[in-house]
Structure 1
Amino acid sequence: MRVVNTADILAIESLKADERTLLGLFKELRKHSELSAYLPEVCHLSLRWVRLLERQPLRPRALLGKGMIVVTEGSGEVIGDSPCRVQAGDVVMVPPGGLQGLVGGAPGGLSAISIHLEELDESEPRWDTPCLCAALGREDGADEASPDRAVSPVDLLVEENEVHAREFAGSPLMQLIRSERALRDDVKRRMLGALQIWSNAFQKVLCARVVFESHPGAIAIAERHLADEVGHNRRLSRMHDPRSSPSWDRGIAAASSWFIERMGSASTEERTVLVHFVIERCADVLLTAAQQIFPDSDYFATHAEVDAEHFKLGYSLLKGFPGLDLGPLRGALTEGWQMMNLICQRISDIAAGDGDAAAEMPAGGASPGELARDPRRELTAVLDGLCGGVM
């Protein structure tokens, strides 16, 4: 593992396209010989923002490919194979298989960007974008993606999905997770309880998708996704005592029922957007950030790794559909994010202990008459039976 400080990189003072345009402090990482040799020309790129308070750890874990940590604020210590002190401006290069972990330093902890780089064969089709550093490193300034080149409907949908994801990153729940208040035991207990309600419901969403899917390729992906996620709600329940938490919440139940119902009424393409774009992208943002307040649990670390892969499955499936109609898919995307924001708002309210945020109700507390009058609850009851082995 090597640490390079950005103070050792020459600054770029103006843009070549317009020498009159002065920049602030702008440094190209490839202008440093070690960093240039380390960065792949083409790669899968995964970026995660990390905020650690003083003495708060992010436990080490082995990387499959290369990794980098860019410390943007504060100071702390890299822990793992080669412990060392780091401060704002440091770029840490972590080799494949290396153990990467962090601890916030005194007095204010640290903020950093964690980067995972997976090298690719340039002939291999890619689901994500090439590393930005590789694009900036081109000497000829050629732009392979010219303005005249048509952008696929799926890629337009991905861009729109990222807008929703960035908005969610600033939501009340994400603000709570990033605050010192989230480290309190009572807040963590309530947060886990609320997450449990959604986690149980998510198992039913996946079951419903398998039940209603008819497209052969989508069936295979739906079954694989369910196999990957099966029992994860049980793993979550082992982190807390479900008996001390609400077992039902009106907001989470309503939004969860909406997702379950849409698995039956939506098209294959819309189901793919709801599950792989909306739910998995939201989970990636949420559970990656939650690692900082639950550093000793592998539940959040596991999801941080698999959620991106599940997004890729949906992307690849949609790419195989010719002539996609963006209108209904954009509608499903917007509605799905609205429902996930509702769920996460309720989780935030419950975790923060805001008055009557949660109404307690034992499992199976609804009467048969109530189920008969509410088709969504009736469908949920049927899925309870279908998913009996999952729950």
Structure 2
Amino acid sequence: MLESKLVSLVKRDDIPSMRTIEVNGVEHWLGHVKDFTKHQDLQAFLPKDNRISMAWVRLEAGEQLDEHVHPVESMILICEGGAKTLGDVETDMVAGDALLVPPTRPHGFIGAEPSGFWGLSLQFDSRGLYEDIADPWATFHEDENYLVQNADNIVDKLFQTNDKFKDRFDKHRLFALVKKGLLKQPHAKQRFLDCFQVWSNHFQKMVFFRYLTTNSKLHSDIAWEHLLEEFGHNKSLESSRKQHTEIFDPILEATSNWFSSAMQRISDQQKLVLVHLVVEASATIFYKHLAPEMSSDTSSEHFHSHESDDHHHVKMGYDHIRRHTPTLQEAEQLFRIQEQGWSMLMAVMSRIADLVVHGSNQAPSVATNQVSSKPAKELVE
């Protein structure tokens, strides 16, 4: 017999407030941030695999949350009072208004007269922006400037920033769902592999385009070595599976294609960062989580071989950057493509998670092109 639970009330004042946050050694004023996970009853009530994070946010009249960015999309709903927005959109918000913030887009707030505002901040990748105080998902503009105005330690800062992005990626919702048994059902695993094949095909295109569009001998050698070692991995993944469904999903297609299209417009040094510090570094985390799930699958060789190969490919990029230190002029572009690349990878993996969860709630299909192209938030309730 199921245990009966009574309706309970959680007052906003009972949720602890966070007033400031330190990012890159600089303390920033937040007003009030009341993350739902910081209250015992709310944390217990919310599903463990919940993909929406919620927090009350509060600014008094005249208080300011400086312009900042974060790597996941966010929505801010004004519930009481009003605010003036900063960043991409500078306007007035009142109760009932919603500000939709894509990843990496600048935004901030000033509490409006006479009483500021209370709002709800929602994120859609399993954890809130300030849920982990040691790893806040926010970068303030002065922090970005600090990174590129100090030429002495550009390489160290680039690597340190990459470690932070890796830690965030390691906590991605897809891996949390896998840990909770998402791929235990054969049709869910098949669905995952079909979606992953889309990313694998675009990764192969990225490696080709990187070599074809590289301009300097300094970079073409490492691009060629990387191409030779990655050549045909997407085809071997496809041929290792006894059956597969061709997936066409506009969102997965667009986010995956971003990486190969970027090769045609960015510098050789940016390509190095995007390929080795971002994509290959993310692969070490991806295969760490997924290889154990594929141990009995026909594609297991692909997943286990990458566990070691990708660490070598990351080292190739790190060693190259250590030998050829970026200039101060190059640094800003490198930090920018680094942040964009990690954000796009988060989007790719989020879409795969949506498609697998959506598909695993249906009977398996042997037909091709049967994947819903609804936006991510319509797929999983």
**TM-score between the two structures when normalised by the length of structure 2:** 0.52
> 1:152 corresponds to which letter in structure 2?
N
In the alignment, what sits opposite 1:310? Answer: 313
| CA displacement 1:168-198 (0-9 Å, x = unmatched) | 1111111122122322211111111111011
Superposition map of 1:75-154 within 5 A: 152-154=153-155
User: Deviation at 1:317?
Assistant: 1.8
The offset of 1:315, in angstroms, is 1.3
Give the structure 2 partner of residue 162 of structure 1: 163
Distance in 2 separating the partners of 1:332 and 1:175: 26
CA distance in structure 2 between the partners assigned to 1:223 and 1:285 by the alignment: 24
Residue aligned with 1:176, SS: helix
Q: Are the equivalent residues in 1 in contact too, given 2:291–2:304 (CA < 8 A)? A: yes
2: distance between equivalents of 1:178 and 1:234?
27
Check whether the contact 1:281–1:307 (CA below 8 A) recurs between aligned residues. Answer: yes
- 1:361 Cα deviation (Å)? 4.8
In 2, Cα distance between equivalents of 1:272 and 1:158: 13
Q: Which residue of 1 aligns with 2:236?
A: 235
RMSD across aligned positions (CA): 2.5
2:347 equivalent in structure 1:
342
The match for 1:295 is: 295
1:323 matches 2:327: yes
Give me the whole-angstrom Cα distance separating, in 2, the residues matched to 1:275 and 1:226.
Answer: 11
Q: Determine helix, strand or coil for the equivalent of 1:182.
A: coil
Separation in structure 1 between the aligned mates of residue 345 and residue 316 of structure 2, nearest angstrom: 20
Contact 1:287 1:304 in 2 (8 A): yes
Corresponding residue for residue 267 of structure 1: 267
SS of 2:252's partner is helix
Runs of 4+ in 1 over 6 A off after TM superposition: none
Q: Counterpart of 1:262 in structure 2: which amino acid?
A: A
Q: Deviations over 1:41-64 (max 9, x none)?
A: xxxxxxxxxxxxxxxxxxxxxxxx
Q: CA deviation at 1:338?
A: 1.0
- Asked whether the 8 Å contact 1:278–1:337 carries over to 2, the reply is yes
Equivalent-residue separation in structure 2 for 1:227 and 1:218 (angstroms): 14
**Identical-pair percentage:** 29
Is the contact between residue 183 and residue 293 of structure 2 (CA under 8 Å) also seen in structure 1?
yes
Q: Contact between 2:211 and 2:223, CA under 8 Å: does it hold in 1?
A: yes
Partners of 1:160 and 1:196 in 2: CA distance: 29
Q: What is the deviation of 1:151?
A: 6.4
Which stretches in structure 2 are left out of the alignment for 5+ residues?
1-150, 371-381
Structure 1 Cα separation of the partners of residues 337 and 247 of structure 2: 28
The corresponding residue for 1:199 is 200
Aligned mates of 1:239, 1:350 — CA distance in 2? 22
In 2, Cα distance between equivalents of 1:203 and 1:361? 22
Q: Is the 8 A contact 2:155 2:326 kept in 1?
A: no
- The match for 1:279 is 279
Provide the C-alpha distance between the structure 1 equivalents of 2:165 and 2:211, rounded to a whole number of angstroms.
26
CA distance in 1, matches of 2:334, 2:273: 7
> 1:288-332, CA deviations, whole angstroms, 9 ceiling, x for partnerless residues?
211111114121111110111111111122221452532111110
The alpha-carbon deviation at position 255 of structure 1 amounts to: 1.6
- Which whole-Å deviations, capped at 9, do the CAs of 1:88-112 have from their partners, x for residues lacking one? xxxxxxxxxxxxxxxxxxxxxxxxx
Task: Write out per-residue CA displacement over residues 185-240 of structure 1, whole angstroms, 9 at most, x where no aligned residue.
Answer: 11111111111011011111011001100111210111111110111112211343
Q: State how far apart, in whole Å, the 2-side matches of 1:241 and 1:343 are.
A: 25
